[in-house]
């Protein structure tokens, strides 16, 4: 992800740090060859998460009811889920199921509604709700019988794909050079709307409103027995490698999304450990690849080891100062791993423990440079709803403030789709920044890019500024889109069509205020359509 558009200091060049991966040279046999101690006297920031509480559960359920009355079904769903996570006893679990089934019924998700009705009915406490549950069950069954089983759209790449890679369009390829590091170009002409890549996240930390394992939304969630922060689709999702390390804990939290970042680093470490049979294998692998080309292109890795290699080589900018800043976070992660007897047994020597700390710091640098909240910038999403996602191939796309492609998200899938016509040979860019970029000066944007990714953007908007094209304000496509956006759910298809026509016909005007508006609106509409699928 940090493959900068220009002036990117390559990883090797940027790594001025001397701390990460350095080993002690000493006369003493015990010390010699050990990785240096990065943790020292770092503090742990872990605190206990909130406890389950019936009073809070009841409050969330009644707040959810208020939302139901306002017809804010998604808002209500969140509150009923929260009510379920905080529920201490059968009464509240049953109530949460009862009300969630009502939400799903009104969302026309009749299968989901029936599942929650079934769960509510299994609980002894249900007596008072029995008749209403039965009525609702009959209603949903009737609706389901009427509804032809229309399969929901599966996301696919349109056009040709690589033979062995059905999720990668053969119209793209990954290249590298000194100027850009790794980057993605078009091998054929690409049209607006073409799907270029579909990728499952390598590591992902969900929001509290999604399955903690697979990030699905609107499921018949079952809450974690122990904490109030996690829900799972089903028993399969409960059995995952990650949650046991996070359960009941709140990590390093100077600001809210850092706790998510800590979880994401922790999860990536668990993935690394489980990729190899033994810790010795992991150490040998890391010590080997650390010395190979950091810009190696690992094309669409398939095996777990290749995927880990691709993850390990994602670009970062590491200095001793970063490593120093990671220490408290690293300590939390280290303590969490070692609190599991199984994992502590794997790291049973000082040499392995020191290695683990270095690995955590290396992963911290990768996650900080490549981890994205996929839902930020979406209206109505609070800061504490952020997730943190790392995908591998999608990270090779460079940034432009006037991108010709957009990154879209659905559950734990990342989709890259073209939003401008792209000619064969041209580089494909996505946008790393959020919000309306024309509201900031190019200097403001580049300060953010320099801070987070260590490069300066050389796009049209940054180099020449906003193009003056006042007559475009009267362009019919623009006037239409602008006038319909406040009811965009009702006009989603015509809005999309007008944006596409405009962008096809005015490739030279994308850097105007109107062009930028059409470009960002199209990206927004694509995300909306994908979320609905």
Binding site for Zn ion (CB under 5 A): 211, 213-214, 216, 224, 226-227, 230, 233, 237, 247, 401, 457, 459, 462
> 309: how many CB neighbours lie within 10 A of its CB?
20
Three-class DSSP category at 478: helix
Q: Which is nearer to Zn ion, 356 or 457 (CB)?
A: 457
Q: Provide the minimum distance between the beta carbon of 313 and Zn ion in the complex, in angstroms, as a whole number.
A: 26
CA distance linking residue 171 with residue 189, whole number of Å: 7
Distance CA 345, CA 282 (A): 15
Angle subtended at Cα 445 by Cα 439 and Cα 447, rounded to the nearest 5 degrees: 140
Nearer to Zn ion, 437 or 499 (CB): 437
Nearest to 245 by CA among 279, 205, 217, 282: 205
- Of the candidates 221, 162, 222, 224, the one whose C-alpha atom is nearest the C-alpha of residue 196 is 162
Classify residue 139 as exposed, middle or buried by CB count within 10 Å of its CB (0-12, 13-18, 19+). Answer: middle
Closest CB 463 distance from Zn ion, rounded Å? 8
Task: Measure Cα distances from 332 to 44, 338, 339, 361 in Å.
Answer: 5, 10, 10, 12
16: tokens are 């001025």
Nearest approach, Cβ of residue 6 and Zn ion (Å): 10
Cα-Cα-Cα-Cα torsion 190, 195, 200, 205, nearest 10 degrees, comes to 100
Burial of residue 109 (number of CB atoms within 10 Å: 0-12, 13-18, 19+): buried
Minimum Å gap between C-beta 59 and Zn ion is 21
| Nearest-approach distance from CB 353 to Zn ion, in angstroms | 26
- Residue 62 has which token pair? 């009644």
When the beta carbons of 364 and 459 are compared against Zn ion, the nearer one is 459
Task: Check: CB of residue 213 under 8 Å from CB of residue 453.
Answer: no
Min CB(232)–Zn ion separation in Å: 6
Q: Give every CB contact of residue 285 below 8 A, 6+ residues apart in sequence.
A: 276, 305, 308
3 state SS for 155-210: CCCCCCEECCEEEEECCEEEEEECCCEEEEEECCCECCCCEEEEEECCEEECCCCC
DSSP string, 120-135: HHHSGGGGGGHHHHHH
End-to-end CA distance of the chain: 27
User: Which is nearer to Zn ion, 230 or 422 (by Cβ)?
Assistant: 230
Nearer to Zn ion by Cβ, of 325 and 411: the residue is 411
Q: Residue 187 Cβ, how far from Zn ion at the closest point, in Å? A: 25
263 CB-side CA count, 13 A:
31
- Quote the least distance from Cβ 76 to Zn ion, whole Å: 21
Least distance in Å: CB of 511 to Zn ion?
10
Which C-beta is closer to Zn ion: that of 102 or that of 263? 263
By beta-carbon proximity to Zn ion, the closer residue of 233 and 330 is 233
Q: How far is the CB of 409 from Zn ion (least distance, A)?
A: 16
Identify which of residues 353 and 520 has a Cβ nearer to Zn ion in the complex. 520
Cβ 283 to Zn ion shortest distance, Å? 31
- Closer CB to Zn ion, 95 or 437, in the complex: 437
Sign of the torsion angle spanned by Cα atoms 205, 211, 214, 216: negative
Shorter beta-carbon distance to Zn ion: residue 30 or 50: 50
Which one, 247 or 378, has the nearer CB to Zn ion? 247
| Contact by Cβ (8 Å): 308, 281 | no
φ, ψ of residue 330 to 5 degrees: the values are: -60, -35
Pairing of strands 249-250, 47-48: antiparallel
Q: Are 272 and 359 in contact (CB under 8 A)?
A: yes
Q: Is the CB of 27 or the CB of 225 nearer to Zn ion? A: 225
Q: Least CB distance from residue 386 to Zn ion, whole Å?
A: 19
CB of 439 to Zn ion, least distance (A): 14
Beta-carbon contacts of residue 274 (< 8 Å; ≥ 6 apart): 241
Nearer to Zn ion, 37 or 440 (CB): 440
């Amino acid at each position: 992800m940090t493959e900068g558009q220009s002036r990117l200091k390559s990883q090797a060049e940027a790594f001025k740090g001397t701390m990460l991966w350095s080993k002690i040279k000493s006369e003493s046999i015990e010390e010699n060859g050990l990785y240096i101690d990065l943790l020292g006297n770092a503090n742990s920031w872990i605190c206990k998460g909130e406890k389950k509480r019936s009073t809070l559960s009841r409050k969330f359920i009644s707040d959810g009811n208020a939302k139901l009355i306002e017809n804010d079904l998604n808002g209500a769903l969140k509150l009923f889920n929260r009510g379920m996570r905080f529920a201490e006893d059968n009464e509240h679990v049953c109530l949460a199921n009862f009300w969630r089934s009502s939400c799903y019924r009104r969302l026309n998700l009749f299968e989901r509604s029936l599942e929650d009705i079934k769960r509510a009915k299994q609980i002894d406490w249900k007596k008072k709700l029995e008749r209403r549950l039965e009525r609702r069950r009959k209603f949903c069954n009737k609706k389901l019988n009427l509804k032809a089983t229309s399969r929901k759209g599966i996301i696919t790449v349109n056009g040709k794909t690589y033979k062995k890679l059905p999720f990668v369009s053969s119209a793209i390829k990954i290249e590298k050079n000194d100027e850009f590091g790794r980057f993605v170009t078009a091998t054929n002409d690409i049209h607006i709307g073409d799907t270029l890549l579909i990728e499952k996240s390598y590591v992902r930390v969900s929001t509290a409103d999604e399955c903690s394992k697979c990030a699905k939304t609107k499921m018949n969630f079952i809450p974690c027995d122990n904490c109030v922060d996690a829900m799972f689709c089903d028993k399969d999702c409960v059995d995952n490698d990650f949650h046991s390390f996070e359960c009941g804990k709140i990590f390093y939290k100077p600001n809210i999304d850092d706790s998510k970042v800590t979880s994401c680093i922790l999860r990536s470490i668990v993935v690394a450990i489980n990729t190899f049979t033994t810790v010795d294998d992991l150490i040998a692998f890391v010590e080997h690849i650390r010395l190979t080309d950091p810009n190696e292109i690992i094309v669409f890795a398939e095996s777990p080891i290749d995927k880990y290699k691709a993850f390990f080589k994602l670009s970062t900018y590491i200095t001793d100062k970063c490593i120093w800043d990671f220490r408290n976070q690293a300590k939390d992660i280290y303590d969490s791993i070692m609190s599991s007897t199984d994992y502590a047994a794997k790291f049973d020597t000082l040499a392995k423990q020191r290695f683990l700390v270095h690995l955590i710091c290396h992963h911290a640098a990768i996650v900080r440079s490549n981890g994205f909240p996929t839902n930020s910038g979406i209206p109505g999403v609070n800061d504490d709803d952020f997730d943190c996602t790392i995908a591998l191939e999608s990270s090779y796309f460079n940034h432009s403030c006037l991108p010709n492609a957009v990154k879209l998200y659905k559950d734990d899938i990342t989709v890259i789709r073209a939003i401008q016509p792209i000619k064969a040979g041209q580089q494909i860019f996505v946008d790393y920044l959020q919000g309306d970029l024309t509201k900031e000066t190019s200097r403001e944007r580049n300060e953010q890019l320099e801070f987070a990714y260590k490069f300066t953007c050389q796009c049209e908007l940054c180099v020449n500024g906003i193009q003056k094209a006042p007559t475009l304000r009267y362009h019919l496509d623009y006037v239409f889109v602008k006038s319909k956006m406040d009811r965009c759910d009702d006009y989603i298809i015509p809005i999309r069509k007008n944006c596409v026509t405009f962008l096809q016909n005015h490739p030279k005007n994308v850097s105007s205020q109107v062009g930028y508006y059409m470009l960002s609106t199209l990206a927004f509409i694509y995300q909306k359509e994908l979320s609905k699928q």
